[in-house]
Structure 1
């Protein structure tokens, strides 16, 4: 005998999924406007839902952020594939990937902070995303190291941390429109192996 699903159960699940998607849409706009530290209650209010409904779907701010940036992972992964396919130079590929990574982690103001914390907290809902970022960065880094373009002691995890740190510092009060590029250049000269031209150039 085939057991028919209770229509009320199907409707409840449909309503729950609709609420979840609505919360994500509202939260994306809210975080884009106010940054990731904006009050969760304001998201629920803007969505026209009670706080209890919001927290049933997303118990913490980190779980909400994890769902939002997971939805953007497909775009970043597509960019990774493009870089791998179009750039045979491991050094150029690593630089392009770090730029793409910087764009990804700054989609919302303040996002680098929670991601940095998740790198050392395996229980965070953002931890899986961080590990994916580290893994992808490691692939580009190892290729650059094998080609002699990156110093052998540099770690993928530390490169991700430098991207997060640069993104955070670029938003500091003392930063201006040139700070981001300058910081990235400073970091790059730390991990990149000096070229023969640099090594032979006179020191000032």
Structure 2
């Protein structure tokens, strides 16, 4: 790993990632990179210094999104009223992730399979921890597998016409005790 960035360079990188996440969410992953630099308040040269290609920027944005989702699992474990509530809330966040990051995820499929596998492992680990705690509390079926649960939630999210329908479909699934 390289040396840490100077404070101003780190700030520019963070602004670029935040702007890119917003622009990609609003306009898709083919949005002009110039718009991202402008929204971040930096010049194109600064953007290309940090992210030489669109793919580099997409990977960085998606990596940040996955890391944020996984970090929320730990926060929910500490803050939720019960393990069941923590799991359910995280699954709702996972639904949001799937529905809003679908184009972003598809845009980086050309990246190394190790990177994509790492993202999947991180999300599976977060879900597994929450599921295990809910299982110990007797709040979920004993035969429930985290990978199956994530596949189910992803399928519901992608098949539903909107968020409300996805919520209704998830409520129909008998995964709780």
TM class by smaller structure: 0.5 to 0.7
**Which of 18, 23, 40 is residue 16 of structure 2 equivalent to?**
23
CA contact (8 A) 1:31 1:109 kept: no
Q: Could you list the runs of 5+ residues in structure 1 that have no partner in the other structure?
A: 1-9, 88-92, 194-204
Give how far 1:184 is off.
0.3
Q: 1:107 to 1:32 in 2, by over 3 A?
A: farther
- Is residue 183 from structure 1 mapped to residue 173 from structure 2 by the alignment? no
Q: Which has the larger radius of gyration?
A: 1
CA shift in 2, pair 1:176/1:137, >3 Å: closer
3-state secondary structure, aligned to 1:123: helix
2:145 corresponds in structure 1 to 155
In the alignment of these two chains, the number of paired residues is 164
**2:36 is matched with which residue: 43, 64, 70?**
43
TM-score (norm 1): 0.59
1:103 and 1:148 mapped to 2: Cα distance? Answer: 19
- Work out whether residues 72 and 90 of structure 2, in 8 Å CA contact, stay in contact via their aligned partners in 1: no
Question: 4+ residue runs of structure 1 moved beyond 6 angstroms?
Answer: none
Task: State the distance in 2 between where 1:79 and 1:181 align.
Answer: 19
- Higher RCO, 1 vs 2 (CA within 8 Å, ≥6 residues apart): 2
Where in structure 2 are there 5+ consecutive unaligned residues? none
Residues 102 and 55 of structure 1: is their aligned pair in 2 closer, same or farther, counting only changes over 3 Å?
same
Matched, 1:53 2:49: yes
Q: CA–CA distance in 1 between the matches of 2:133 and 2:73?
A: 19
**CA apart distance, 1:53:** 2.8
2: CA distance between counterparts of 1:16 and 1:148?
Answer: 47
SS in 2 for 1:59: helix
Q: Are residues 1:141 and 2:127 paired?
A: no
- Alpha-carbon distance change, 73 to 15 in structure 1, aligned in 2, over 3 angstroms: same
Q: Is the 8 A contact 1:138 1:156 kept in 2?
A: yes
1:80 maps to 2:77: yes
Q: Report if the CA contact (8 A) 2:95-2:154 is conserved.
A: yes
Bigger fraction of residues in helix: 2
Shift in Å, 1:78: 1.0
Question: What are the Cα deviations for residues 156-203 of structure 1, in whole angstroms up to 9, with x where unaligned?
Answer: 112122222323333xxxx256411222023x22x445xxxxxxxxxx
